[in-house]
Amino acid sequence: MDKLRINKLFVSNVGPFEEIHLVFPAKSGINLICGDNGIGKSTILESLAAPFSRGNLTNLKKKHGSEDGKIIVSCDINGNNQNLEVSVKTYEPDKQNHKITFSDYDRWMIFARTNREITYAKLNAISSDPSLEPYGISDRVSLGIPLHDIKNWIANRILFENHYYKSNEYEYIIENSKYIKSVISILDSNFSFYEVDPKTYEIKINTPTGVVPFEYLSSGFKSAYILIIGVLKEIEYRTLEVSAQLFSGVILIDEIELHLHPTWQCKISSILKESFPNAQIIATTHSPHVIQRADPSEVIALYRQEDGSTDQRPLPSSEYGYAGWTLEEVLEDIMGVSDTKSSVFRAAIHAFDSAIDNEDSEKIQETLHILEKMLHKDSPLRKIIALQAVPYVSNRETEQ
């Protein structure tokens, strides 16, 4: 069975990067790239996709004032190591000039961009799968997962499911068809696939409030569903003839948590790993909920050094990953957020600390009262500040 895996990435003078080396651990089912806005997370995904795309690469620009930018993607193709190179020669937004060592394994590279919005569209007929020429496949790597054909593909697979059963060569389609229906309940056990109406071709979902067209689901539900189903559609349209479980290519995802409620952000990585267990998934994220559920080797944290260059942050790790970390600890120590407290809270705690230092009983009671109203009822800090205030509050009460 064919296999594609990214091992290393080297980028020089491209986008915000003067130079950066990244290594993608061999045993990770998913790699999560996090860091500040503008630090280069999306540029990394664009760089990984470039050798597999002959389409529009205008998102890749050389660093301002530099010579030609350079990208080297080291990958494993069926057990053979290959270095794929890209030279980026332009900076102007309306121009592109790239010299690329192309890989003919573009069919095994799928790029899910941030466009995961889908609105209702009436399906008047069901068409056959598109016949993609070689350049058509590499264009899809550049453009991302098209959304206009998802409804047609789902309707085709469900309504013609019995016909696929008649042929042994379509076993992978049968498996994928089952998954199209089951993934709804995997995302939320309160929902289930209802039917594809054979007269109207509407895809209907059973929800706690009744049966609705799948376009009527919440933005978060649709985003998660379209992400998984869109990848599955691309696997089939590229004539790989494998089920989701057997796909052993690379899936790039920009902003994996897009539109998702924190509850779903916590589980989207595990759902994707279960959906595509043999794939290498490389995703960007701004979500501490996503990072908190990551395994030890799955996080690649970028940070900006004092000279403005970008580097990979050394991360503490254990066999339990970051499961025992608070969201605040993830934000500060993994994602590099310097202060997670609001300015109002910082001012209040500073006033309390100053009152303690000055042994000002009246001010201590005043600021303590403010903090007690401000803090969460179960916050450990409530007990800490109360203990600090005890001697001064007690003294004042005694004096009175």
How high is the mean pLDDT in each 10-residue block of the chain (400 residues)?
91 92 86 90 93 80 86 93 91 78 87 90 91 78 89 94 84 93 93 95 96 92 93 92 93 94 92 94 95 89 86 83 85 80 84 88 90 85 86 55
Report the predicted TM-score, pTM, of the whole model to 2 decimal places: 0.87
How much is the pLDDT for 333? 84
Instruction: Quickly count: other Cβ atoms within 10 Å of residue 352's Cβ.
Output: 20
How far is Cα 73 from Cα 101, in angstroms, rounded to an integer? 10
How much is the pLDDT for 399? 40
How much is the pLDDT for 1? 64
Residue 111 has phi, psi (to 5 degrees) of -120, 110
How far is Cα 323 from Cα 134, in angstroms, rounded to an integer? 44
How much is the pLDDT for 394? 60
How much is the pLDDT for 174? 92
Q: What is the 3-state secondary structure (H, E, C) of the chain?
A: CCCEEEEEEEEEEECCEEEEEEECCCCCCEEEEECCCCCCHHHHHHHHHHHHCCCCCCCCCECCCCCCEEEEEEEEECCEEEEEEEEECCCCCCCCCEEECCCCCHHHEEEECCCCCCCCCCCCCCCCCCCCCHHHHHHHHHHCCCCCCHHHHHHHHHHCHHHHHCCHHHHHHHHHHHHHHHHHHHHCCCCEEEEECCCCCCEEEEECCEEEEHHHCCHHHHHHHHHHHHHHHHHHHCCCCCCHHHCCCEEEECCCCCCCCHHHHCCHHHHHHHHCCCCEEEEECCCHHHHHCCCCCCEEEEEECCCCCEEECCCCCCCCCCCCCCHHHHHHHHCCCCCCCCHHHHHHHHHHHHHHHCCCHHHHHHHHHHHHHHCCCCCHHHHHHHHHHHHHHHHHHHHC
Q: Are 240 and 247 in contact (CB under 8 A)?
A: yes
CA-based torsion, 91, 53, 114, 43: positive or negative: negative
Burial class for 367, CB neighbours closer than 10 Å (0-12, 13-18, 19+)? buried
How much is the pLDDT for 288? 92
